[in-house]
Structure 1
Amino acid sequence: YVTGPIAHGSVIVSGGATLSDGVYRFGQAAGSTFDGSMGTVSYVGSVRYVGHGGILDVTVANPQIRLTSATAGALVVTSGGREVVFATLELAGATRTEASGAVTYAGVAATLTDAGRTQVFGGNATTLDPLTFTVGAAAAAPAGATGTVATASSAVRTTRSIPATPPATTGIELDEATLAALQSGDRVTVTASGFQSGETGISIVVYSTPTLLDTVAADASGTATWTGTLPATLADGAHTLTFQGSVSRGIPFTLTRAVATALGTCQATAATLDWGVKESFRTYIEGIAAGGWQLEGVTYAYPVFSWATGTGAVDPEALVGTVMFGGSVRFTGHGGALDTTLANARIEFAGDVGYLVFDVTGTTQAGEAVAQHDVRFAQFALTPSVRDAAGITLTDAATTLTPAGAAAFGTYSAGEQLDPVSASIALPSGCAAAAQSSSGSGATEVTAAGAELTSDDTALVWPWFVGGGVLLAAAVLAAVLVVRRRRA
């Protein structure tokens, strides 16, 4: 926890303590009163845990073994300038050996005391590892590492500061087909060269308002490649797509996708979304961080947060569109040092992938200020199986943290497994039936909207195109969503 992506901290040994093979070791001090079965044995050295930019700072020093019988004892440590009975010891299940006048107990079960929990760990309970101790002559700790023995990996900070304006508008060349796909909002593959061989953390950012889409790595020749779609919330108009790393590359384009995606889109007036963010993160907030969450327009029933009354537009055949829920979840902890809000929730459908999109504001666990809008926070796979007779249904779909989500959240690295998501979006019978039938067998042809249509289903879908604008207007006015809510 200390050295991982939560606390971003380090562990420091000093005063004679060492670390070897994952075990802290302390040398025996002079003055043992052990008589073979009872007594007190003192050891020297300290281990200090630091994290959260100094908010977490705990030292455990100069441990003592106090044996009150042949089967029981206590582990006493100095922490915060006072002696604390840190753990109770159970010797009955340990292995006892004698050699060269020394007595060793191995595999001694240790249980954290109330005093250890409140006076050392700030009220947070944990399971302690078993310990081994030897009673003999005063001696230094066995050889091992000293100083800072472990620290948080810098890899969790893979993104650099994003400038407010495009750092480059040239350097990316696209063929006519790819440029046309980019300008219509379709999935594209874009490459840019000139980066360092194997360079990582290259940010893919779209402007006018800077929005981080992804982070990619360059190949051995210094060429970076990104495949994806533009955010559904990106307005039509002039924009710039950039690659930002050791060098910057860019290309201006004009987004004009509204007309192209209007045909076949079904309006939504209600929907539900159930997602727990990440169970271990919620446990951490309520435990170690001594915090909680405040909800606005959102409810919580273990293990999920629930959003309702979503609205938006979805093309169920092409699986594109956005459903917006609003509301906010504000996570706080560490006396206000941690304060992050996920607001304005929405589901974005982008063909074969879906996104959970939020506005992210506040401070990260590292104390960094964040204020990012339209963040594709988590992603999940989309397949035709999500379509059914009622519309679109997600059931415990696996989600992972995106690079944009990792940069805004500041807690986990991109690719971190998050909680599964469930959602139910019911569509008017015409939309749902047509979309579901399109996944049947038969020869494939392409409609004017770019969606696939099988020849077996032509009779079902053809009435949509007769009367054109009349049926489209009717669909816009009559679309109703039926809610399916996943229960805990």
Structure 2
Amino acid sequence: MPHATRIAGALTAAAALVATLLLWAAPASADDLSGGRLDWGVKESFRTYITGSIAQGEVRTGDGASTVDGDYRFHSASGAYEDGTAVVDYQGWVYFWGHDGELDLTFANPSVEYSGSSGTLYVYVNGTRTDMASLGGASLEASGGTVSVSGAGATLTANGAAAFAGYYEAGQELDPVSFSADVAAAPAETEEPSEAATTEAPGGTVAGAVVDWGVRTSWRDYVSGDIAAGAWTVADGAADGGAVFRFAEGAGTATARDYELAFQGTVAFTGTDVDLAITDPVVTATDGKGVLSAEVAGTRVDLVAFTAELVETGGVLLAEDVPTVLTEAAVPVFGGFYQAGDPMDPLLIAVPLTADAILPALPDLGSDPAPVETGASEATSADEASTEDGVDPLVWTVPAAVALLLGAGAAVVAVVQRRKRSEATPEAAPSAGTPEEEDTPEAAGTGGDAAPANDKEK
């Protein structure tokens, strides 16, 4: 049967070719995604309610999460993409506090499972992994080394409704979800090092240091918000970690309490009435008391003051979550929005002492995914429409809120352990004389505090 044999041979060859093409197109391993971001605002009406006159609450972010255009941005994707399905984990948390602590809710380390044009959003809710929303209406795109979904509609699940303690019902629309992740490159071959070169021991000349600083959360929110309608860019070696900016190539001298380190890089903020570039910061400390200065409009300005001792950890001189306050000289830099002594974002200073020392990782936002048209519904849900009409759909009185959150319905999301008011509250409101209207950078939390309870391993 030569004819049948030829057909069988052709089919075998075709199958081999298809298999080869699939192997060529598919990622190299099951853990092949690294670097990316997930943007999700939870629900606009919920955010408005938390900070409104009834809940009188606060929202803060941490572990590298940040706010971008009203959404919360989670970073450092890891996971897999195979056969048109993406399973991706992200890092960071957002914390909601209100009603004098009776509303105490943390959403952390979201993950998505997405195939074709539908999927599921999972979130750690006060430490418990919860299928929060069903996703759909947008296709999973894989091109240019990036896997992404733009503007997927999110529908609250029954478990998600329980996480809100009955605040919303299953089936209600949440804010849309967008996410991206980069396909990891194959690991490069490494050469055996000759001799372990070292950066000088403490007290000598050092190189390769980094400093991380987010300026101030409320400043970033203002620049990217509706009023300034702006953005920021990094250049000359600076890197954007979402909630912090990293300036690298730090060189100088360093001991535990006395150090002078000059870094490279620029972060530039632009928008309506905003034009600010912070370039080549220098960190200087004597007996642990220091300042961070930078070039601003051609002049070096002391921006923030701090107190920090560098501690040797794993071959790195390190100071983390160092509180900072604005200097008098820096008040004009921010147009008087902040006053001298106001808290700014914390610093991280890391100085490698050996060539193989590992510096703290910067949150990895991955590549910008290409814009994708989506089929997500543009219809406005009933509760959002009523908000636009001036009627708040979340009319909780304080007694009602307390009853809901402390009653049997709230048991499914038992709060891990309520922190003291001083620990849970974001940074202080602007001091007297600081503009407080919505068109100014309000205090919005530094993101430098320890993360709320979460049982997911980092």
Q: Whose strand proportion is higher, 1 or 2?
A: 1
TM-score (norm 1): 0.31
TM-score (norm 2): 0.33
**Which structure exhibits the higher relative contact order, with contacts defined as CA atoms closer than 8 Å and separated by 6 or more residues?**
2
